[in-house]
Amino acid sequence: MHFIIQCTDKPDSNNLRAITRKAHIDFIERHRDSIFVAGPTLTQDGEGMNGSLLVVDFPSLADANAFAASDPYAKAGLFESVIIKPWKMVLEPKY
């Protein structure tokens, strides 16, 4: 089942994001088979990162929650909030 994981960074956490980024990217790469799409959300000017958005495929909401909690960003306390919801694809990408 697909889920969206929408994470919002705590204010003024750019340094924490930067020092944790390599561990986060390594984590994402290890779980690539379960990730449909992933990337940071951006500030209004498009210059800074302020959160993360992932569409993942796991058997259950519990598995999606466990995945999100295991992310190095989450373990480092980067996120102010994490929202996980079931998601249904209606339109597939053209590529």
Q: Residue 24 above 90 pLDDT?
A: yes
Q: What per-residue confidence (pLDDT) applies to 29? A: 97
Q: What is the DSSP letter of 34?
A: G
Q: H helices within 1-95, ranges in order?
A: 14-30, 61-70, 72-75
- What rounded mean pLDDT belongs to the chain? 96
Residue 68 has pLDDT above 90, yes or no: yes
Give the span between the Cα atoms of 2 and 36, in whole angstroms. 8
Q: Per-residue confidence at 92, pLDDT binned at 50, 70, 90?
A: confident
At residue 93, the pLDDT reads 80
Delimit the domains of the chain by residue range: 2-86
Separation between Cα atoms, residue 9 and residue 59, nearest integer Å: 27
Whether CATH 3.30.70.1060 fits 2-86: yes
